[in-house]
Structure 1
Amino acid sequence: MNRSKQLLRRLALPLVAWALACAPALAARVKDVASVQGVRSNQLVGYGLVVGLDGTGDRNNAYATRSLANFMQQMGLALPQGVTVQPKNVAAVMVTAELPPFARPGQTIDVTVSSVGSAKSLRGGTLIQTPLRGADGQVYALAQGSLVVAGAGASAGGSSVTVNHLNAGRIPSGALVERTVPTPLLLGDTVTLALRAEDFQTATRVATAINRAIGDGTAQALDGRTVQVRAPRDPNERVAFLASLEDLPVELAAPTARVVFNARTGSVVLNQAVSLAPAAIAHGNLSISITSTPQVSQPPPFAPPGAQTVVTEKADIQVQQEGGKLIEVQASAQLADVVRALNKLGATPADLLAILQALKAAGALKAELEVI
C-alpha cells in the first residue's frame, strides 16, 4: 500500500507538468497581462460655470443664480440688495478629469464638462476657472477654456431638431496640473505586479518567466492576482528594470470558455474556447396577439328616460405557437463550428440565450454563461 502511494506521488508532478505543457498557450508580454501596483490614474471633479451661451443656459435654477452672484462678488462686483441675476447665458456644470500617473505641475489634461441644471445647450460656451479636487479634498488641477460640443440643434415654429448631445462637451488640454500625487513605486525592495484577471496559472507563468530571464528567486506568485518582484533600490536602475520586465514574453493558457449575454442590447458573444457536445434541440416560438376594437351601444327605441349611448371595448386574444423541428447538433470544437451549428436554429438573440442555458443544463455546452 505504501509503495502505491509513493508511486502516485512520483507520478503526480510529471503528470501536472505534462498537462501544462500540452495545454494550448498564447504568447504575450508581461505588460499585456499585468501592471505595476500603485501606478494608476486618479479621478478629479469640480463645480463651475460655463458662460457665453446664446440664451441656452440655466434660467430659474437657484444654485446657478447664486453661483454667478458669488463669482461676481469675488471679482469685486457686489449686487445691490434685492437685485437678482437671470443667467440665460450661464450654465452650472460639473467638470471631471483623470489625473494620469506621474503627472507633474504645469502639464495639461483633458476635461469633460456636463450640465447639472436646465441648460438646453453648452455649445459655444466657455468654462471659467474651476478647481478640480481629488478624493482627499485637495486641489490637483485648474480647468478653464472653450468647450467642444459634438452636436447641433435648431428650433422654429414650436418644432426642434437636435443632433447628438448638447449638454456635455470636452476641453482638450483644458486643465493645468497644480499638484503631484505621490506614488509608492520607488519605496521598498520589491515591486508588485497586479494581474488584470484572476488566474493562478497566469500568475505562476509570469513569475516563472521573470525567474527564467533574471534569476531564481526574483519573482514569487503570492496569489492568483499578485506577483511580487525584487527590484533595485536606485530610482534609475528600478525604472530600467521595470522597462525590461514589462517586455518579457510569457506563455498564457487558453482562456476560460465563456458566453456573455447583454440583456440591454440582446447581443451574445462567445470566445474561442467555447465547444459543444452532441445534442438535439427543438425550439418553437409562442406568440400572443391582443386586439381591442371600440363598439358603440345605443339605447333601443322607446328606451326609458336617462338611457345613454355607451362605448365598449371588444377584446380579441389569439395564441399561436409555432412548431419547432428537432435539430441534431454535432460535436463542435472550434468557434466557427459552434456558430454554424447555432445559426441552423434560426433563433433570435433572446431565444439563443434560452437555448444556451438549456444546453448548459444538459451538459452539452462547455462554457460559462454570464449575463451583464
Structure 2
Amino acid sequence: MSRERFSGERLLRAVVLLALLVASAAVWWPAHAARIKELASVQGVRPNQLTGFGLVFGLDGTGDQSTQAPFTPQALAAYLQQHGIALPPGVQMQPKNLAAVVVTADLPAFAQPGQRIDVTVASAGNAKSLRGGTLLATALRGADGQIYAIAQGNMIVGGAGASAGGAKVQINHLAAGRVPEGGTVERAVPTQLSRAGVMQLDVSANDFATARAVAQAINQAKGAGTAQAVDGRVVRVRMADNMPDPVGFVADIENLEVTLAKPAARVVLNARTGSVVLNEAVTLGTCAVAHGALTVTVNATPQVSQPAPFSQGQTTKTEKVDIAITQQGGALMQLPPGAKLADVVRALNALGATPQDLLAILQAMKSAGALNAEIEVI
C-alpha cells in the first residue's frame, strides 16, 4: 500500500508540474513571432531586372507571319549579316519556324560572372506557339544599357494545342515559356551591405510598432544603441568598418525573432472578383442590418399587327413588353458585438449574403460606425 501511495503521489506531482509548465509557457510564449528576414530587407540587397530582344528558331510552322510582324524578317536579316551572309536585294523572307521574342530575367544580388540564372521568353509578334523552339544567344541589358548576361537554350512551354478544319483546342498558354538556367552572368553588380558604417533595414510594412520591435530585438542581441528606428519603414543598424565577420553579423540579425503587435484592423474588398478578406483585428459593434435583393425582369414578345380589310394598310411587327419587379424580403437582423474574428464571420454568415452583397454591406456598416476597421478596395 505504501508503494502504491508513493507512486500515486509521484504521478500527481508530475501532473501538477506539467500543468504549471504549460501555464507558464502560455504566459511567456509569444503569440505571434516572426524573424527579421520575413519583416525587413537590407537596403541595396535586391535583384536587378534584365531585358533583351531575341529570336527563337526551330518552331514547327507556328512562328511569326511577316505580314503582321515585319520586325521578325528584319531581325533575321541583321543576324545573318552579322555572320557574313548577305541577302540579295528585294528578297522577302517569310519563315514560319521563326519568332521574335522578348527575354527577361532577374539578376540576383551578389551574382558573379559565370553563374547561371533562369530566363523567361515571351512572343513579341503573332506566333501561335513557342513549343519546341530554341532561343538564340540574346544579350540581356540592365537599366543602364550595359550587358549583364547572355541567354540561350531550349525552351520549356507548359502547354499544348492543336487545330484543324477551323476547330482549335489549347491547354495553357503557348506564347511564353522559360529556359531553366539559360542565362550566364557576364558582369556583377557591386552591392554594399553598409555605407559609412550604417546598414539600413527596410521594413516591408509601413508600421511604427513593427519598426520599433525590430530595433528593440537587435539592441537586446547586439547591445544598446546598435539599432534605431527612424520611421515606420527604416531601421538603421551600426556596423564597424573593421568588422571581422560582417556576413555573420547580418545573418544573426536576420534570424532574430520579433514579437509582433496586433495589426491595424483592415478589410480588403476586391470589387472585380467579389473577394472579402478580414484580418484578426477586425471587430464589430452592435448594429441592425436589413438586406434584400431587387430583381427586374423584362420580357419582350414579338407580335404582328394586321390592318383591317380594304383599309389599304400595311402589316407591321410590334413587340409587347412586360416589366416585372420582384423584391425579396429583407428582415431587419440585429448583429451582436464581436470582439474576435470568428464572431465577425459568424455574424456576417448569419445575413446569408453573397460576397458581392458583402461589399455593400460592409461599406454601409463602416459608414454607420459599426465596423471597427479600415476598408481598402483593390
Specify the alignment match of 1:370 in structure 2.
376
Q: Is the 8 Å Cα contact of residues 194 and 239 (structure 2) preserved in structure 1?
A: no
Rounded to whole Å, the distance in 1 between the matches of 2:54 and 2:311 is 72
Q: Which runs of 5+ in 2 are unaligned?
A: 1-26
Specify the alignment match of 1:328 in structure 2.
334
Does residue 98 in structure 1 map to residue 106 in structure 2? yes
Specify the alignment match of 2:13 in structure 1.
none
Does residue 207 in structure 1 map to residue 215 in structure 2? yes
Rounded to whole Å, the distance in 1 between the matches of 2:319 and 2:73 is 53
1:1-372 matched pairs, under 5 angstroms: 26-59=32-65, 60=67, 61-234=69-242, 236-304=244-312, 309-372=315-378
Deviation string 1:35-84 (CA, Å, 9 cap, x unpaired) is 11110011111111111111111112111111111111112111101111
What is the CA-CA distance between 1:353 and the residue it aligns to? 1.1
What is the CA-CA distance between 1:290 and the residue it aligns to? 2.0
Q: Is the 8 Å Cα contact of residues 271 and 359 (structure 2) preserved in structure 1?
A: no
Rounded to whole Å, the distance in 2 between the matches of 1:286 and 1:94 is 50
For the aligned residue pairs, the C-alpha RMSD in angstroms reads 1.9
What is the CA-CA distance between 1:310 and the residue it aligns to? 3.4
Instruction: Identify which range, 222-231 or 232-241, moves more after superposition.
Output: 232-241
Rounded to whole Å, the distance in 1 between the matches of 2:161 and 2:265 is 47
Q: Is the 8 Å Cα contact of residues 25 and 253 (structure 1) preserved in structure 2?
A: no
Rounded to whole Å, the distance in 2 between the matches of 1:244 and 1:348 is 48
What is the CA-CA distance between 1:295 and the residue it aligns to? 2.8
Find the residue that maps to 1:184 and give its secondary structure. Answer: coil
When residues 154 and 329 of structure 1 are mapped into structure 2, their CA distance, relative to the original with a 3 A threshold, is same
Identity of matched residues, %:
62
What is the CA-CA distance between 1:314 and the residue it aligns to? 3.2
When residues 204 and 55 of structure 1 are mapped into structure 2, their CA distance, relative to the original with a 3 A threshold, is same
Specify the alignment match of 1:5 in structure 2.
none
Q: Is the 8 Å Cα contact of residues 127 and 175 (structure 2) preserved in structure 1?
A: yes
Q: Is the 8 Å Cα contact of residues 36 and 256 (structure 2) preserved in structure 1?
A: yes
What is the CA-CA distance between 1:291 and the residue it aligns to? 2.5
Q: Is the 8 Å Cα contact of residues 110 and 189 (structure 2) preserved in structure 1?
A: yes
Rounded to whole Å, the distance in 1 between the matches of 2:244 and 2:149 is 28
Deviation string 1:194-248 (CA, Å, 9 cap, x unpaired) is 1001111111121111112111111111111101111132475211111111111
Calculate the TM-score normalised by the size of structure 2.
0.88
Rounded to whole Å, the distance in 1 between the matches of 2:292 and 2:80 is 69
Deviation string 1:259-310 (CA, Å, 9 cap, x unpaired) is 1111221111111111111111110111112233333344544353xx6543
When residues 314 and 79 of structure 1 are mapped into structure 2, their CA distance, relative to the original with a 3 A threshold, is farther
Q: Is the 8 Å Cα contact of residues 259 and 274 (structure 1) preserved in structure 2?
A: yes
Q: Which runs of 5+ in 1 are unaligned?
A: 1-20
Calculate the TM-score normalised by the size of structure 1.
0.90
